[in-house]
């Protein structure tokens, strides 16, 4: 009986507890289950949204990277290639390249504006500052590099001198200090222009000499500009030009003098009109005067003339030849002569190849032919010699390229 009673009470208590537990379970489990499902879904959605936003922000704020060639900080950069600026993850908005010599390098962008290339190479021996801005960068990129200096260099010495006024026959003649192997490269770096405009062409007489002239004599009053752009032009292997300059010359009046050594006379024409005539003496037998068109290239009120300097031994040595004007490199002059008899002029050809006019010792007598002709002349004036019994002067012997036809002159151009 006792056992049965206890078992029954125990069973009642067990059933009563189960109802409360079930009710509690029915009230809590679904709520917990619903709460658990809702929290997981919301967190996942929020996480996906945050990741997408972060990715978008990262894509829009990725830093643009600018690269400069030559590399920043280079101390001995090359100068035979253009400067390049590129950008990754952005577009270039502006690029400036400035040298410490005051020069700047212009350039152009590619279509996508991700690359800029200078229009020409940087100069040697120059420090450059490169300032580049990109749309995706917060600040401009500022870098520097320095180009190396060339090991060997050359220059061109030019005639006439800057600012000079010359006669209508004066070519622009350039003599280089080093033999030029790449004639085309050097000639392209040199231009000669005229006002009023006329075609001007270069002609190479040798690997160290380049002359420029028009087809016919310059017009009186012409302004001539020589532009040298030879800096860093490689004229020979490892040998670079260093000149970058413009010089101007002017042409004065036209004076053309014709020497007829058969008649032994000189006729001087100024702007087409005869202004003077002089009796002369030319080269005698064995020393005939060159014929052809010659240009006055040097002038001396007095100068020493020695036969040994022109390969004639000790035939003469005159320390004070008056009013001497050079016509050829080899030693032909038109000059005053005080040592010959006045009867020689206009009657005999007795010189060693030059053209002589009567003059006086000391070069101070304004009444004589030598003085008058000298005073009326200038560098670049034309002197034409005919009937001398000698062949035409070599066009390279002095400034005498006018003895070449225009076709032959142009054939000597490298461009």
Q: What is the CATH number of the domain that holds 141?
A: 2.60.40.3780
Query: In the sheet that 255-260 helps form, which strands lie side by side, from edge to edge?
Result: 273-279, 265-270, 255-260, 382-386, 292-295
Q: In degrees, to the nearest 5, what angle opens at C-alpha 161 toward C-alphas 173 and 245?
A: 85
Distance from first CA to last CA of the chain, Å, rounded?
A: 137
User: What percentage of the chain exceeds 90 in pLDDT?
Assistant: 80
- Which of 115, 146, 177 is at the close of a domain? 146
pLDDT at residue 49, rounded to an integer: 55
pLDDT at residue 61, rounded to an integer: 57
Asked if residue 304 has pLDDT above 50, the reply is yes
pLDDT at residue 308, rounded to an integer: 80
pLDDT at residue 63, rounded to an integer: 85
Question: Are residue 263 and residue 287 in the same domain, yes or no?
Answer: yes
pLDDT at residue 338, rounded to an integer: 96
Question: In whole angstroms, how large is the CA radius of gyration of the chain?
Answer: 46
Element holding 12 (H helix, E strand): helix 2-60
Q: How many domains would you assign to the chain?
A: 3
Structure tokens at 331: 């030693």
Q: How confident is the model at residue 25 (pLDDT cuts 50, 70, 90)?
A: very low
Asked if residue 242 has pLDDT above 50, the reply is yes
Question: Are residue 278 and residue 386 in the same domain, yes or no?
Answer: yes
CA distance 343 to 30: 147
Q: Which domain holds residue 179?
A: 152-252
pLDDT at residue 215, rounded to an integer: 98
How many C-beta neighbours within 10 Å does residue 414 have? 15
Question: Are residue 303 and residue 384 in the same domain, yes or no?
Answer: yes
Q: How confident is the model at residue 306 (pLDDT cuts 50, 70, 90)?
A: confident
Question: Are residue 287 and residue 396 in the same domain, yes or no?
Answer: yes
Question: Are residue 260 and residue 394 in the same domain, yes or no?
Answer: yes
pLDDT at residue 50, rounded to an integer: 54
Q: 42-94 pLDDT, tens per residue? A: 545 445 555 555 444 444 557 899 999 999 999 999 999 999 999 999 999 99
Q: What is the CATH number of the domain that holds 369?
A: 2.40.440.10
């Amino acid at each position: 009986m006792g056992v049965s009673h206890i078992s029954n009470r125990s069973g009642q208590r067990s059933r009563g507890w189960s109802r409360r537990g079930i009710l509690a379970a029915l009230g809590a489990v679904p709520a917990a289950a619903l709460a658990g499902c809702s929290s997981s879904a919301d967190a996942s959605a929020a996480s996906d949204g945050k990741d997408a936003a972060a990715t978008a922000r990262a894509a829009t704020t990725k830093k643009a990277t600018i690269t400069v060639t030559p590399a920043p900080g280079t101390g001995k950069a090359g100068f035979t290639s253009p400067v390049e600026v590129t950008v990754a993850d952005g577009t270039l908005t502006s690029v400036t390249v400035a040298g410490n010599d005051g020069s700047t390098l212009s350039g152009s962008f590619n279509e996508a504006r991700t690359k800029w290339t200078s229009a020409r190479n940087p100069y040697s021996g120059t420090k450059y500052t490169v300032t580049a801005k990109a749309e995706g960068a917060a600040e401009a990129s500022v870098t520097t590099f320095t180009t190396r200096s060339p090991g060997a260099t050359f220059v061109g010495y030019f005639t006439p001198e800057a600012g000079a006024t010359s006669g209508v026959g004066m070519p622009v003649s350039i003599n280089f200090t080093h033999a030029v192997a790449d004639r085309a490269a050097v000639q392209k770096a040199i231009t000669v222009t005229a006002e009023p405009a006329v075609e001007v062409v270069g002609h190479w007489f040798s690997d160290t000499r380049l002359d420029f002239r028009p087809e016919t004599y310059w017009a009186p009053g012409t302004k001539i500009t020589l532009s040298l752009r030879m800096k860093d032009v490689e004229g020979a292997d490892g040998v670079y030009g260093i000149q970058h300059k413009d010089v101007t010359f002017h042409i004065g009046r036209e004076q053309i003098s014709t020497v007829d050594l058969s008649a032994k006379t000189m006729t001087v024409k100024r702007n087409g009109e005869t202004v003077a005539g002089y009796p002369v003496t030319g080269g005698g037998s064995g020393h005939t005067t060159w014929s052809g068109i010659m240009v006055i290239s040097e002038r001396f009120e007095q100068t020493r003339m020695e036969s040994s300097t022109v390969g004639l031994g000790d035939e003469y040595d005159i320390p004070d030849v008056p009013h001497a004007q050079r016509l050829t490199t080899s030693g032909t002059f038109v000059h005053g002569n005080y040592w010959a008899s006045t009867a020689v002029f206009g009657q005999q050809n007795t010189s060693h190849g030059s053209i002589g006019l009567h003059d006086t010792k000391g070069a101070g007598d304004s009444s004589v032919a030598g003085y008058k002709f000298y005073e009326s002349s200038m560098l670049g004036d034309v002197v034409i010699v005919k009937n001398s019994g000698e062949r035409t002067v070599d066009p390279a012997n002095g400034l005498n390229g006018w003895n070449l036809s225009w076709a032959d002159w142009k054939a000597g151009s490298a461009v």
